[in-house]
Chains A and B, each alone.
Chain A
């Protein structure tokens, strides 16, 4: 075991898979000799060579096409999109192409691709770096979308994502890259995709969340515990497909739920979680399932992040609305 930040755990997962499988290729803008703009791929080119870890010209769309073509020749590409706000340039390759490869070829071809990309607010990035666009990809049949919130989860989920024989979008929250350390095993391990984690057990209300909001939710739960309110916090970890069983089991126990996301209300996946709970557990609910989200504006100018991004006080407030319904 070692104390690792999330970024170190991510590097560690890639190193593990580069070692395990000669078909794993890592490429993107500045991921080679530079080791990535966040040092996620630091040292990997030196260790595994330019044939395995390499830079690309500055064009997201062709990075996506490159991944698809390499997959057709039996490689296991792990491309990086420098910031997920740049996904619009490569939407066709992701949603229009790799997501559909297995289906459109009737199973003849597959796309075992893991697209890594940082996102998320709270670090005062310039425009279109921090936007939460996971909702767009979660709507595309053929993709899986994974968002870890801890170093331990990041490593196990990334290894699973790379080994998955279908395309996975792996989104890394920038604020979580180095915000804390955690014990992470040096050896390889996997965490199943599509499986949520109960990060805190409770009996009065369920918070379903993901990404940086997991930590805001845990902080809110700590505060609420002081008032004698017991909150269960579920970290989705995979936001498409979601882990219905874990969510419903929790809601049946607590009878109350909120969904917390950093994305705007009209974006993200909170609406889907609410719909699933409503369809499957309405008779267990003592109150409607409410959402904590960002407002439906464009992602804020960096100096407005603090007033715009949802935080633990927003969560506490919403929990009380549901409890007092």
Chain B
């Protein structure tokens, strides 16, 4: 009959995976990923750089120099640790908050800013950058990632499709469908749920009675793992292993990263003080992925204040140059928008194009 203990049994199967604790100490030596000193420093460099990018993006948004922006501070380990485990040929299907992964996968900074402002050039991926623009329809990227992964498998490529959604996104039908298809086709996909505790104002407890998101993998028959999403080494290790499994034909993995966004949901008027306490944010600030990784690197003599300052300066300079390039991008015309609709324009667009050519030449 019904086993009432099954819920707690399942919960015990999804204990949080951690490598680095909040004090910057390795607590799981066995799981420590094989990263060179240079790679470790690169991870830190990227986290610091991305934190500056977040701070500057918020301020540029407030000045009206950026448009849509979903803050990323707090999620650096989750976003960058996972991207660092990828190879160039891997596909990224990001959600709307996952711009940092795109940047580190090859999207030029000024294009990320053009995406924010609402300009098609921002979405034109450079040749060889396997990534889609950020997906606004939550979980559409999940079913599409499954398609990409099946495509990679059919092509015989040693590559994966990785996609990201949030805790709220795991309630969508497309989330389940995408995972289920990937399982049924044993496709090389990695599904990352960045559980930052809140979907706008709705806490994760109101999304589901499941104690973890990772356990949703049970419903589709492949492994799930819950990871400390403030621990870049744990995130990297989990994604690396998922990637290895996928390219070896062992199928998809669901990875839940437990993380937190320090900022609002987006810059479009969301006020997080309405739905979460200062204490909660303070508590998560103690888990800051940059603070703990800095401690770890300093302990190994791999990081200094000077190095960090250099990264910050570099980021600020790059951002300034990128914003300039953004400003210099020609304005969009209706004829531009018409021209990217189809390979061959249908009659209605041919007519409308002529009309706008006339308007634009005035």
Which residue of chain A lies nearest to B159 when distances are taken between CB atoms in the complex? A73
Q: How many A-B residue pairs have CB under 8 A?
A: 131
Q: Are B337 and A107 in contact (CB under 8 A)?
A: no
Known: A72-B132, A74-B151, A244-B347. A65 touches B340 (CB 8 A): no
Q: Are B343 and A165 in contact (CB under 8 A)?
A: yes
Q: Which of A51, A73, A106 contacts B120 (CB 8 A)?
A: A106
Mark contacts of A78-118 with chain B using CB atoms, 8 A cut-off: 1 yes-contact digit, 0 otherwise.
Answer: 00000000000000110011000011111111100000000
Which residue of chain A lies nearest to B346 when distances are taken between CB atoms in the complex? A241
Q: Are A105 and B341 in contact (CB under 8 A)?
A: no
Q: Which of B137, B148, B347 contacts A241 (CB 8 A)?
A: B347
Contacts of A72 in B (CB 8 A): 91, 132, 144, 147-148, 151
Q: Shortest CB–CB separation between residue A65 and chain B, in angstroms?
A: 2
Q: Shortest CB–CB separation between residue A107 and chain B, in angstroms?
A: 5
Q: Are B146 and A142 in contact (CB under 8 A)?
A: no
Contacts of B340 in A (CB 8 A): 102-103, 106-107
Which residue of chain A lies nearest to B180 when distances are taken between CB atoms in the complex? A57
A164 to B343, CA, bound (A): 9
Question: Taking the complex as formed, is A224 at the interface, i.e. its CB lies under 8 A from any CB of chain B?
Answer: no
Q: Are A62 and B133 in contact (CB under 8 A)?
A: no
Contacts of B148 in A (CB 8 A): 69-70, 72-73
A166 to B349, CA, bound (A): 15
Contacts of A71 in B (CB 8 A): 147
Question: Taking the complex as formed, is A229 at the interface, i.e. its CB lies under 8 A from any CB of chain B?
Answer: no
Q: Shortest CB–CB separation between residue B162 and chain A, in angstroms?
A: 12
Question: Taking the complex as formed, is B284 at the interface, i.e. its CB lies under 8 A from any CB of chain A?
Answer: no
Question: Taking the complex as formed, is A190 at the interface, i.e. its CB lies under 8 A from any CB of chain B?
Answer: no
Question: Taking the complex as formed, is A291 at the interface, i.e. its CB lies under 8 A from any CB of chain B?
Answer: no
Q: Are A166 and B174 in contact (CB under 8 A)?
A: no
A104 to B137, CA, bound (A): 13
Question: Taking the complex as formed, is B149 at the interface, i.e. its CB lies under 8 A from any CB of chain A?
Answer: yes
Contacts of B145 in A (CB 8 A): 69
Question: Taking the complex as formed, is B297 at the interface, i.e. its CB lies under 8 A from any CB of chain A?
Answer: no
Total A residues in contact with B, Cβ cutoff 8 Å: 44
Q: Are A73 and B341 in contact (CB under 8 A)?
A: no
Q: Shortest CB–CB separation between residue A48 and chain B, in angstroms?
A: 13
Contacts of B337 in A (CB 8 A): 103
Q: Which of A66, A97, A107 contacts B181 (CB 8 A)?
A: A66
Question: Taking the complex as formed, is B199 at the interface, i.e. its CB lies under 8 A from any CB of chain A?
Answer: no
A240 to B124, CA, bound (A): 27
Q: Are B140 and A92 in contact (CB under 8 A)?
A: yes
Question: Taking the complex as formed, is A34 at the interface, i.e. its CB lies under 8 A from any CB of chain B?
Answer: no
Contacts of B91 in A (CB 8 A): 72
A93 to B177, CA, bound (A): 13
Q: Are B133 and A57 in contact (CB under 8 A)?
A: no
Q: Are A142 and B173 in contact (CB under 8 A)?
A: no
Which residue of chain A lies nearest to B142 when distances are taken between CB atoms in the complex? A65
Known: A64-B143, A97-B140. A166 touches B184 (CB 8 A): no
Q: Are B151 and A75 in contact (CB under 8 A)?
A: yes
Mark contacts of A38-73 with chain B using CB atoms, 8 A cut-off: 1 yes-contact digit, 0 otherwise.
Answer: 000000000000010000110101101111111111
Contacts of B173 in A (CB 8 A): 61
Question: Taking the complex as formed, is B255 at the interface, i.e. its CB lies under 8 A from any CB of chain A?
Answer: no
Known: A62-B180, A68-B144, A97-B137. A108 touches B347 (CB 8 A): no
Contacts of A51 in B (CB 8 A): 154
Q: Shortest CB–CB separation between residue A55 and chain B, in angstroms?
A: 10
Known: A59-B180, A59-B181, A64-B143. A69 touches B123 (CB 8 A): no
Which residue of chain A lies nearest to B173 when distances are taken between CB atoms in the complex? A61
**Would you give 17 A-B contacts (Cβ < 8 Å), ordered by A?**
A56-B181, A59-B181, A61-B143, A62-B174, A65-B178, A66-B150, A68-B144, A69-B144, A70-B151, A70-B154, A75-B151, A103-B120, A106-B124, A164-B343, A165-B343, A241-B346, A243-B347
Interfacial residues, chain B to chain A (CB-CB below 8 A): 91, 120-121, 123-125, 132-133, 137, 140, 142-152, 154-155, 161, 173-174, 177-178, 180-181, 184, 337, 339-343, 346-348
Q: Lowest 6 A-B CB distances belong to which pairs?
A: A69-B147, A65-B143, A73-B151, A241-B346, A62-B177, A106-B124
